[in-house]
Copies of this chain bind each other. A is one copy, B any other.
Amino acid sequence: MAPEKNMDLGKFRNEICDFLNNHIPDDVWEAVAKTTSYFPAFSAVMTMHKLLATKGWSVVNWPEEYGGPGWSDEQRRIFFEEYCSRGLPMMAPQSVGMVAPAIMKFGTAEQKAKYLPPIASGADTWCQGYSEPNAGSDLVSLQCRADSDGDHYIINGQKTWTTWAFEVDHIFLLVRTSSEGRPQAGITFLLIDSMSLPGMEVRPIIGLDGMPEQAEVFFDNVRVPKTQVLGTENQGWTVAKYLLEHERAAGGSFQFVLRRELDKLRTLANVTDDGHGSKISSDPVFKQKCAELEVDWRCLAASENYARRIGSNHPEAAHMASLIKLESMNLTQHISELALDISGTLALVDQQLALHIGSETPPIDPIEVLTVMPTYLNQRASSIFGGSHQIQRDILAKLVISK
């Protein structure tokens, strides 16, 4: 690391480190050790959210007027570096990074006052109701309907891939309010204050690793007041697009998370036998593969730094967003693949019980193997969610070829 530009930044880093080293509860550290997904245990996320909120650090990307700490870019970078490189769980992106910025931009004064403070404190939690069974990467073909009934909508339809729907208490939703004009013209963005309104049903989806993370959400004549529209009726696509762009610009910390994953890979190699009396960590072929991943990591880090530097209004911002999605997810997957390759047969054992936070089932020795297979399986989604690799390449080709 370069030396901090001035003493204040050094002090700032010390303050962050002191807090993160000394004030994180054990169950959060346990969750860190047992994380097998892009999304860590929800309980640990919220524990950390509320803990950081006590310091004013829960919404560091927010403007000060809404509760942000008023940090400089450099301070934020330092915070994320220290936070992510310890593997600590990021704040739920659906709440802090998605619905909140949309409310800041499109919300009424009432909506802002009602929704933003409890998001900042961690009192309210949100999930995102976008995807539908037949509208994955092409959102404009969504079919979940909100029919007008006086000053209410009546919602019918289904959402899917709704992360943490069974954990949170709010959902924001894209619904079809008109079938006229271009498909994206009749979409409305709704804020819903509960996950258990009459007619709503949430069914967790069990993933390949045996854990629920996503859910289906069903709407059967669910009544919602029209005041719950964010922005304007039939203009939901504008909100969704803004949010997508904002989400992209808010990125930039995969490098710290993946730095830690690379280091964990080497720890794993240190305890793994090659069957001929040595550890895998001394195998030249393994070392070569690590070096390749190391080069990829450096490229990713440099790309993220560049994207942060140019900001979200630069003509290349959209290119960089797709590039970073592709490269970070590729690297994530490759690390998980190499981890599986070097692990022995003990990685094949399903240790779901031991993976629960607070579980009394001890992991099989060596403990480094515990997360290998569920992580590998879970990471298969990295090239699918948030716009598949194919979609990202389509986007890039369009940007690059027709420029």
Contact = CB atoms under 8 A, between A and B. Distances in A.
Copies of this protein chain in the complex = 2
A275 interface: no
Contacts of A277: none
A288 interface: yes
A63 B57 CA distance: 84
Interface in A266-301: 283-285, 288
5 contacts: A283-B284, A284-B284, A284-B285, A285-B285, A285-B288
Interface string A241-285: 000000000000000000000000000000000000000000111
Contacts of A288: 285
A370 to B, nearest CB: 28
Contacts of A285: 284-285, 288
Contacts of A283: 284
Nearest to A285: B288
Nearest to A283: B284
A285 B288 CA distance: 7
Contacts of A284: 283-285
A284 B285 CA distance: 7
A129 to B, nearest CB: 34
Nearest to A287: B285
A285 B283 CA distance: 10
A284 B283 CA distance: 9
A59 B190 CA distance: 76
Nearest to A291: B285
A285 B285 CA distance: 5
A397 to B, nearest CB: 15
A284 B288 CA distance: 10
A285 to B, nearest CB: 5
A269 to B, nearest CB: 15
A288 B288 CA distance: 11
Interface in A308-351: none
A393 to B, nearest CB: 15
A290 to B, nearest CB: 12
A360 to B, nearest CB: 43
A283 B284 CA distance: 9
A221 to B, nearest CB: 41
| Top-4 shortest CB links A-B | A284-B284, A285-B288, A284-B285, A285-B285
A170 B344 CA distance: 63
